[in-house]
Structure 1
Amino acid sequence: MLHEIPIRKIIHIDMDAFYASVEQLDNPELRGKPLAVGGSGQRGVVAAASYEARKFGVRSAMSGAMARKLCPELIFVKTNFDRYKEVSKQIRKIFLEYTDLVEPLSLDEAYLDVTENKKGNPSASMIAEEIRKKIKKKTGLNASAGISINKFVAKIASDINKPNGQKTLSPEEVVPFLETLDVKKFYGVGKVTKEKMYRLGIYTGKDLKGKSLEFLEENFGKSGAFYHNVVRGIHNSKVKPSRTQKSLAAEHTFFENISSEIFMMERLDEIAAEVEKRLHKSKLAGKTVTLKIKYSDFTLQTRSKTLPLFVASKELILDVVKELLFQERMKESVRLLGISISNLNNETPKEKDVLKVSIDVQLKLEF
């Protein structure tokens, strides 16, 4: 039996090369030049790259050394998060002129539910265009937008006409569009999942749609139902103005690789102290402790343990981390260690998703 779900009008606003664009805005000499925000040294990591730098293949999360190799003329500037937060607050105020249903994902992107909005405007596309113009006028920065029936599709749509553009996918366009899309463009499909899908002969949304729920659950576990539904345009997650923090973490990249587990424990003691400080500041505790290890060959490994009780003290966190560290031998020297706490005591039970829904029965509304 098919059930009707209400159509929502969701906008995903994504600032274009935000950190780099703020730096270029504040320093006219940097405009039009390849720019990277972050560290330029051997241990540095690119936090953001300007569009001029992206033409050379420079991307966020890339090592500074690799970025420099790809673009010898690349200009590096240090991150200035206080300034980025200041601009982000200005942008957030603009969002709130249209709706209180604003869910920030980071400093530079957010979801807005404008199904019912403060302007009484029935067109989500027009609202997105107005918002982008106001952001440009207020901050001097460009933003892109995706507009559609749910968060999943809106986020994909915001990438289509970047930079400084927008894309609307109306209800009747959603499924045909998703069928043509490479699965690597699906939000939530990372590199590992993409490669697994490719091995299973799933290259496009149409391929994914052709697989049964049983097949997807067998191969992708709990995520199988998610993939089965989103490719049909079904994603019932609401825009949540006060996003619940899911985890809290701290990490450290070392100037030189370390291989001694004794040295690792010394560093982990410092990291655990920082995690404890952040937990206490946020008045949180968690049950799941995760140790993050990045090796000298840049491969990443995580080891986790879930406890029966909530913990927030450095000593208890460190006890678990020590167990995780010594549960197997290191395969290489280590360049980064991190600790995160999840399964926090601020989480509420999830609403049951309505899964057996067909997009065909959704009402056509003006977008």
Structure 2
Amino acid sequence: MTSPSDGLLPVNDTHRRIIHVDMDAFYASVEMRDNPTLKNKALVIGQDARKNHGHGVVATANYVARKYGVHSAMPSIKAIRLVPADKLVFLRPDFTKYRAVSAEIHEMMHEITDSVQSIALDEAYLDVTENKLGSTSAVELAIGLQTRIREEEGLNCSFGATYNKFLAKMGSEYAKPFGRTVILPEEARAFLARQKIKKFHGIGPKTQERLHQMGIYTGRGLQRIHVRELIKHFNRMGYLMAEHANGIDLSRVVPDDEHNRKSIGIERTYEPCIYNEQTALTNLRNYAASLEEKLQERNFFANTVVLKIRNNDFVTVTKRRKLPHATHNATEIYQAARELFGPLANSFLNDGIRLLGVTATDFSEADFEDVGLDLFSD
């Protein structure tokens, strides 16, 4: 059964071969590799709130800690309450070491293809439709890369191999750790139908709640509702959800060198640190206004907003949000940055915000706005 769309959804492109690689608990895994005595401990990378007047935030945690419910961006004090004291170990992050390991892994990726788009130190897309090894099998290349990372770096990663970026990321998250997920074109809709809405990246908690109110809890629900109904309730985000639920994502892998030329960011280090929420929000609003000017100068529209935040103990978190539509509007950029900041605010403000930054990226040219606008009017 195809989605009720009256032909509004684009023709799918299934000829590409895309891999999404996601390192498993990267920071924690590097530390356990370098100190094997930590492997059976609930290892948390971040500041120990017991030694800092109750302050601190979790950067990441190993899978032992995750079984207790610990996750990134959680206040450290909560992690302490969740994990038995004899099991819990805190380590301060060593970003110099993590960057060096990440660079080595990315070198391996570039030996396969130069079409590598880094999302973070521990995550990247590879377009291997054409590659340096002459392979026609994305699965073969992904397994080879996964095996090499394990043998040479002593670290595990998970991958999704399929025909577009959205599905590849869904795949890499599907069977962690050390997961291998392959999604063929003829299997995509059935795979997506089984996934809970919260597994669809780009659909945040507020949108999930609204979808639940409409009786939609899985990809199957999105597939069954008419695309016009999704557009009515969620505007362009609704159209994007309809595309993704049907296994459609025409966005390309943007190589790192090209991506770096096409991102505009503003960040500032604060001394003294920021402890007041309104001060932080005012700075985010000012950043958004400056980004609007820079985007307009270059005739760019951003599809993604990235928030970077660092506390007084140099714990750094980077979060990104896909926008409902391409924009250079300061209000829309600020709103996305504010929503990313919200869940992190208390933990980081308690410790003091040393660095705050916003980046606009994933650009479209101005004429993007002229494509298909009639689809969104009734």
Tell whether 2:263 aligns with 1:245.
yes
> Does the CA contact (< 8 Å) of 1:246 and 1:347 recur in 2?
no
Deviation at 1:140, TM superposition (A): 0.6
Are residues 169 and 307 of structure 1, via their aligned partners in 2, closer, same or farther at CA, if it must alter by over 3 Å? closer
Aligned pairs for 1:336-351 within 5 A: 340-342=357-359, 347-349=363-365
Q: 1:228 aligns with which of 237, 242, 249?
A: 242
Aligned pairs for 1:254-333 within 5 A: 264=279, 285=294
| 2:234 maps to amino acid | F
Deviation at 1:245, TM superposition (A): 2.4
Which whole-Å CA distance do the structure 1 matches of 2:307 and 2:123 have between them? 28
- What SS does structure 2 have at the residue aligned with 1:35? strand
Are residues 14 and 209 of structure 1, via their aligned partners in 2, closer, same or farther at CA, if it must alter by over 3 Å? same
Which whole-Å CA distance do the structure 2 matches of 1:62 and 1:239 have between them? 31
Q: Highest CA radius of gyration, 1 or 2?
A: 1
| 1:227 maps to amino acid | M
Which whole-Å CA distance do the structure 1 matches of 2:71 and 2:307 have between them? 26
Q: Which residue of the partner structure matches residue 25 of structure 1?
A: 33
Are residues 27 and 219 of structure 1, via their aligned partners in 2, closer, same or farther at CA, if it must alter by over 3 Å? same
- Higher alpha-carbon deviation: 57-66 or 216-225: 216-225
Which whole-Å CA distance do the structure 1 matches of 2:33 and 2:360 have between them? 40
Which whole-Å CA distance do the structure 2 matches of 1:165 and 1:217 have between them? 34
| 1:68 maps to amino acid | I
Q: Which residue of the partner structure matches residue 110 of structure 1?
A: 124
Q: Where does the alignment leave 5 or more consecutive residues of structure 1 unmatched?
A: 294-304, 309-319, 325-331, 356-367
Q: Which residue of the partner structure matches residue 190 of structure 1?
A: 204
Tell whether 2:73 aligns with 1:61.
yes
Q: Where does the alignment leave 5 or more consecutive residues of structure 2 unmatched?
A: 1-6, 297-301, 310-327, 339-345, 373-378
Give 1 or 2: higher helix fraction.
2
> Does the CA contact (< 8 Å) of 2:18 and 2:162 recur in 1?
yes
Deviation at 1:35, TM superposition (A): 0.3
| 1:153 maps to amino acid | L
> Does the CA contact (< 8 Å) of 2:230 and 2:242 recur in 1?
yes
> Does the CA contact (< 8 Å) of 2:161 and 2:181 recur in 1?
yes
Aligned pairs for 1:50-199 within 5 A: 50-71=62-83, 72=85, 73-199=87-213
C-alpha deviations, 1:33-59, integer Å up to 9, x for none? Answer: 110001122221100100111111111
C-alpha deviations, 1:53-108, integer Å up to 9, x for none? Answer: 11111111100000011013311100111100000000001101111110000000
> Does the CA contact (< 8 Å) of 1:33 and 1:52 recur in 2?
yes
Superposition RMSD on alpha carbons, in Å? 4.0
| 2:39 maps to amino acid | R
> Does the CA contact (< 8 Å) of 1:43 and 1:254 recur in 2?
no
Give me the TM-score of the superposition, normalised by structure 1.
Answer: 0.73
Which whole-Å CA distance do the structure 2 matches of 1:253 and 1:156 have between them? 40
- Higher alpha-carbon deviation: 139-148 or 117-126: 117-126
Deviation at 1:247, TM superposition (A): 4.0
Give me the TM-score of the superposition, normalised by structure 2.
Answer: 0.71
Aligned residues: 310
Deviation at 1:204, TM superposition (A): 1.0
Deviation at 1:144, TM superposition (A): 0.7
Which whole-Å CA distance do the structure 2 matches of 1:203 and 1:268 have between them? 36
Q: Which residue of the partner structure matches residue 7 of structure 1?
A: 15
Which whole-Å CA distance do the structure 2 matches of 1:272 and 1:27 have between them? 43
Deviation at 1:3, TM superposition (A): 4.1
Q: Which residue of the partner structure matches residue 328 of structure 1?
A: none
> Does the CA contact (< 8 Å) of 2:22 and 2:157 recur in 1?
yes
